A and B are shown apart, each in its own frame.
Chain A
């Protein structure tokens, strides 16, 4: 069974930093593209960042404009973990952050969100 468990959320001041983690199990983590999605309180879903599988030839990374230059997505295949380093956070970054997995372990599955974690809440406030 695919399991994605996020952690690392909490209260952080504007301009501060936070590192989110997502522990993956139940599948060959290295073979799947992974995505971070967030949801502000009472709002809809917003894509944040994507990292391709380790098996991808070029392993590109993509970011939404709202976080580009401030957030960094990375993965550690030895630990089966996905990360989101959040720097210079703003009040509008307050949200629940979800870790998700692509549907298939092929590059053609890029863009096809399939499995979700339970999320971790990040609150940016002074």
Chain B
């Protein structure tokens, strides 16, 4: 199975823009869709991006997703940061060779 690597933590000020990376260790990042989940303390995860760049209904357009083949990574970008965005964020993809679902280790976003 490939590994998805995320930075353990990122921080930024309210109103600013932050990006969280998710790097695939082997195989093309574009080979399988990437999802992003937000998990606030004490809550279950919710999907903020699916299929690389799609936003579920109800997710503000401050959240966007993209993939970069040159770095073999996906990114979650949050603009106009709000204190309520403070949470853990996980990326997820799918290994179609081994038929396994793969999660990144998670990134703790601090909005200070």
Query: Using a CB–CB distance below 8 Å, which chain A residues touch chain B?
Result: 35, 37, 44-47, 50, 62, 64, 96, 98, 103, 110-119
Contact = CB atoms under 8 A, between A and B. Distances in A.
Interface residues of B, number: 25
A45 B91 CA distance: 10
A62 B51 CA distance: 21
Interface SS of chain A: strand
A46 B37 CA distance: 13
Given A47-B100, A62-B99, A64-B100, A112 B44 contact: no
B51 A47 contact: no
A117 B104 CA distance: 20
Given A35-B101, A113-B35, A113-B101, A44 B90 contact: yes
User: Which of B33, B93, B102, B105 counts the most A-chain CB atoms under 10 A from its CB?
Assistant: B33
CB-CB nearest 9 A-B residue pairs: A111-B94, A47-B101, A45-B103, A44-B106, A118-B44, A62-B99, A103-B50, A119-B44, A112-B33
B56 interface: yes
Nearest to A44: B106
Contacts of A62: 99-100
A114 B100 contact: no
A21 B4 CA distance: 29
Nearest to B90: A45
B56 A114 contact: yes
B28 to A, nearest CB: 15
Contact of A114 (B44, B50, B93, B99): B50
